[in-house]
Chain A
Amino acid sequence: RKEVEQDPGPFNVPEGATVAFNCTYSNSASQSFFWYRQDCRKEPKLLMSVYSSGNEDGRFTAQLNRASQYISLLIRDSKLSDSATYLCVASGGSYIPTFGRGTSLIVHP
């Protein structure tokens, strides 16, 4: 079982839709969690940190469920510009950051 798993997608949604991604992690000692966005052939860009209490930034909401060992990302009112690959990261007590393979999102008109 991979340490961090994501559904690769693609998720095809119309503009204005709400879409949610989940990411499961296997290392229960994981302490820090992040979501990154990566455009084709570009570097990952930090989207948001994921706190135990949840985190909201405009149209984006991230949640952490430690009991079930997953983090989620909710995007409301999708824009064409949200089309990208979304990567989740978990790091454990020894802080070796582990990325998922990413979930591809395509927002169409």
Chain B
Amino acid sequence: DAGVTQSPTHLIKTRGQQVTLRCSPKSGHDTVSWYQQALGQGPQFIFQYYEEEERQRGNFPDRFSGHQFPNYSSELNVNALLLGDSALYLCASSRGTTNEQYFGPGTRLTVT
């Protein structure tokens, strides 16, 4: 049973560029949530997708956008990258919007 997968594992971008991160949920899961985790902090909720729609959104600017596909996989897009966007980006999947979440290994983004 495949768990949550994310790609790429690492990414280095320059300020002002745009980035797309990808996530495939655990088999049987239909909901995907994205988190940003800075060093020494807990994961911060960015948004959640269910039935291809953004259902909840945390306190992140519109530069952060996402998409969910019919196969439940998801993308996170970040435009106009800032140095402060450097972090570990985690995807978590669940069955439904309120159940236990399972995390992927994350994408480590470095903005220079």
Contact = CB atoms under 8 A, between A and B. Distances in A.
Interface of A: 4, 31-32, 34, 36, 42-46, 49, 87, 91, 94-102
Given A95-B97, A96-B56, A97-B33, A43 B104 contact: yes
Contacts of B71: none
A87 B42 contact: yes
Contacts of A100: 42
Interface string B79-111: 000000000001000000110111111100000
Contacts of A34: 100-101
Contacts of B56: 94-96
B98 A44 contact: no
A99 B100 contact: no
B58 A96 contact: yes
B7 interface: no
B44 interface: yes
Contacts of A43: 90, 103-106
14 contacts: A4-B42, A34-B100, A36-B103, A46-B100, A49-B100, A87-B43, A95-B97, A95-B98, A96-B45, A96-B56, A99-B45, A100-B42, A101-B41, A101-B42
Interface in B31-81: 33, 35, 40-45, 48, 56, 58
Given A94-B56, A96-B58, A97-B33, A46 B101 contact: yes
Contact of A97 (B45, B102, B106): B45
Contacts of A31: 98
Nearest to B35: A99
B103 A44 contact: yes
A34 B33 CA distance: 16
Contacts of B105: 42-43
Nearest to B44: A99
A61 B49 CA distance: 32
A45 B105 CA distance: 10
